[in-house]
Chain A
Amino acid sequence: MFTSQEIIETINMVKQSNLDIRTITVGISLFDCCSDIPQRFIDNMRKKIIKYAGNLRNVANEIEDMFGLPIVNRRVALTPISLLTFSYSYEDLIKVAVAIDEIAKELEVDLIGGYSAAVHKSYDENTKKFISSIPDALASTERLCSSVDVGTTRSGINLDVIAYLGFIIKDIAQKTKDKDSFGCARFVVFANAPDDNPFMAGAFHGTGEGDCCINVGISGPGVVKRALEEKKDASIDEIYETIKKMAFKITRAGQLVMQYASKKLQIPAGIVDLSLAPTPKVGDSIAEILEEMGLEKVGGYGTTFALALLNDAVKKGGAMAATFTGGLSGAFIPVSEDSGMVRAVEAGALSIEKLEAMTSVCSVGLDMIVVPGDVEAEVISAIIADEIAIGVYNNKTTAVRVIPAYGKKEGDEVNFGGLLGRSKVMSINRSSPKRLIERGGRVPPPIISLRN
């Protein structure tokens, strides 16, 4: 039998500190669905997704009941669609996108990822056509997510595609302007994209993966914050230790959910992503953890330091708790999805520049950042280039999910609802990087790529 203390603590983790599992993501390989006839590919794909993920919703609900642990999202990640649709016309690509979205709706899957391409070295006309279809694909769907990998530490940075993506993102914003340019929230640009990431918008089922697997993304910033509340006068090493222990417990819950889902769905278990993922709910915020450590407002000096130790402690605690870890693993710092971050932006304490610095020590990057709609495409490309450089030169994953909200100015508010939250439009440095971005070409990989 457990001690009363243990049981009460576990129940409080869920009831009062918002401990939840962010996502169960079923990754599915579509290589055996390929066909030169688009409709046949769609039919094959449909059959396969239903075969593996048809019961995902029920199993997730059952897990919620059994363990009393909320599962916020049920998701599916597919083989990057660009690899499977090489000969397809533009219209057929959109047809595929819409078909994927319909399958997601039918299965009541919250988001489905994989309308993706990897062009970190170079790209041909077919892949360029695929990338050009992303704005229409996102505008014609509601649950489809898309990503493009534009650089890796091994291969360098593809500036040609970064220059192009500035226009693509503006186009997505324009085509989804009725919903505050919501389409941009379903598109992410990556450096060093991992194959097994369960978090959207960047989830896809990588080419090195098997036929199917389950990946789990954990959450739980509220639990960490609450644990720190009881350590008001503790030294920083004690804070570190507390975070590590909490991360262990949170990850154990994730590992349990993965094992259970794997057994029930008869799909092999994949990885647990050791991430603290915020939600817009008050008390479920990464910013609040950093503030609990002793910052007046997140974004002030000391923020990068606090985030670095949080991130490392989460990884150390989590690594012991899970058999296979992967994905993005670290703390997420999206702006609109984190109520504490939004407050800091509103108070003028948190800038894009500080967020960029923070991304050098945490998982992913500039995430869910809303900027004025009239920003030049080259500025967006340059924001991407900066962030990708951090990833490529530091041998880590980084990403950009930026939303140039159509028709909105600095200080206006946008509201996406649900998990994606709301935010003020952030101020942006307007000096033009046009000449730099228009040079195009490819940046050679850094010297650390020669580590053999």
Chain B
Amino acid sequence: MRAIITVVGKDKVGIIAAISSLLAQNNVNILDISQTIMQGFFTMIMLVDLKECKLKFSELKELLMKKGQEIGVDVNMQHEDLFNSINRI
């Protein structure tokens, strides 16, 4: 299963490191990553593969959101199919 992770917040040192190391610890493979400043906010978008991840979707989501709170950014994870459905015919 693949998912889209988005991270939005005020830019600072270590956001990518914090999120990607959490993913690595849980065997989540990052397939694509892009980052930009949109409307003054740091915005990171990741496409990840959860095939090897032992956690349930909701558990991983919970961990990511907690990590986001720690470092002061808003983290979200959604199944890739939502974006496929809405944006692709």
Contacts and interface: CB of A to CB of B under 8 A. Distances in A.
B81 interface: yes
Sorting the interface of chain B by its residue count into under 10, 10 to 19, 20 to 34 or 35 or more gives 20 to 34
Given A7-B6, A11-B76, A1 B47 contact: yes
Given A8-B38, A65-B58, A253 B43 contact: no
Interface stretch (A66-74, A86-94, A198-206, A397-405): A66-74
Contacts of B4: 2, 7
A6 interface: yes
Contact of A7 (B45, B77, B85): B45
The B contact surface, by secondary structure, is: strand
B27 to A, nearest CB: 19
Contact of A4 (B38, B61, B79): B38
A62 B59 CA distance: 11
Contacts of A253: 82, 85-86
A4 B4 CA distance: 11
Given A6-B87, A11-B6, A69 B38 contact: no
Given A1-B32, A1-B47, A2-B4, A7 B83 contact: yes
Interface string B39-64: 00001010100000000011001000
B87 A2 contact: yes
Contacts of A7: 4, 6, 45, 83
A13 B87 CA distance: 12
Contact of A68 (B34, B82, B85): B82
A260 B78 CA distance: 14
Nearest to A69: B82
A21 to B, nearest CB: 11
A345 to B, nearest CB: 34
A133 B86 CA distance: 45
Nearest to B78: A68
Interface of B: 4, 6, 32, 34, 36, 38, 43, 45, 47, 57-58, 61, 76-79, 81-83, 85-87
Interface of A: 1-2, 4, 6-8, 10-11, 13, 62, 65-69, 249, 252-253, 255-256, 260
4 closest cross-chain pairs (CB), A and B: A256-B85, A68-B78, A66-B79, A67-B82
